[in-house]
Amino acid sequence: MSRIFEVAVDGGPYALAAGSDGAMWVTLVHRGAIARVGPDGSLEVYPVVEGSKPSIITAGPDGALWFTRAGDDRIGRISTDGHLASYELRSGSEPYGITSGPDGALWFTATGTGVVGRIDVDGEISEEAVPGGMPSTITTGPDNALWFTLNRANAIGRLDRGDVTVRKLPTPNAGPVGITRTHDDAVWFTAVLADKVGRIPMNEAMQELDLPGKPHAVVADPSGGVWVSLWGADQIAHLSADGEVDTIDLPAGSEPHGLAIGPDGALWVALEAGFVMRLPTA
């Protein structure tokens, strides 16, 4: 399937992830629900809890989808047959980012309490203190450490078996948000307040590239480089590994946020204005 299509999804599509069932699973941050969009564009919606604010979602090692509930301080889990479960965190945690870790567990950020947390597939939770700064999104790096953005500290954190290191961004007050591992043994991140995208090769200097329009989410392109959502410009940008930039215009007011690569290699975009869009990449 190579065509472009979009599916209307009410409730503020925010982030998405490919499931083991070949569908895309989408958080509906305003509706308090999770949506399943099939490869044919079919739609199913699973209510969570009103006000739960499902935010970031990821495929877990158990074949289910795991997501953060920033509105009611919980980690959610939904199986591909629609069965929901949740795990309670400390009051005021405000979990946001989540990723599958190298140890068979899920790792998440808590923007309210300023920690990085771990939850195994049985629901056991532990926390690692990080040096403040509102940890936002998180990814497993090519070195099998956990890398995360520290939005208010203007830094990128790295957690490896309890050891935390922090690297400051060259640009002041840049507001790092999105982060992802890429296929060139690097970590890429977005800086929404500075209109920049950054690249961190392992054990090398951090690089920054200019982009217009408040870069928000970033995902690795299997063919090389990264895709970035430009929330403030209603665009999607593609950056090659050598910094070449191409952009795709989206409908005005669409508010692109989350990005994911589907099982067929296509790019999927969550548009908070109420759509999920599939864009072929070849």
Other CB atoms within a 10 A radius of the CB of residue 251 amount to: 13
Question: How far lies 70's CA from each of 57, 59, 194, in Å?
Answer: 12, 18, 25
Pairing of strands 65-69, 54-59: antiparallel
Question: How far lies 87's CA from each of 47, 68, 72, 157, in Å?
Answer: 16, 10, 11, 25
Residues contacting residue 175 through CB under 8 Å, at least 6 positions apart: 151, 154, 191, 192, 193, 194
Q: Phi, psi at residue 93, to the nearest 5°?
A: -65, -40
* DSSP state for residue 38 in the 8-state scheme: -
User: Strands of 33-37's sheet, edge to edge?
Assistant: 13-18, 24-28, 33-37, 43-47
- Residue 197's beta-bridge partner residues? 190, 209
Q: CA quadruple 271, 238, 190, 261: dihedral positive or negative? A: positive
* DSSP state for residue 144 in the 8-state scheme: S
CB 207 within 8 A of CB 198: yes
- Is 257 catalytic? The answer is yes
Could you say which of 83, 216, 238, 257 is catalytic?
A: 257
Q: CA quadruple 227, 159, 175, 97: dihedral positive or negative? A: positive
Token pair recorded at residue 102: 């190298």
Question: What are the residue numbers of the active site?
Answer: 257
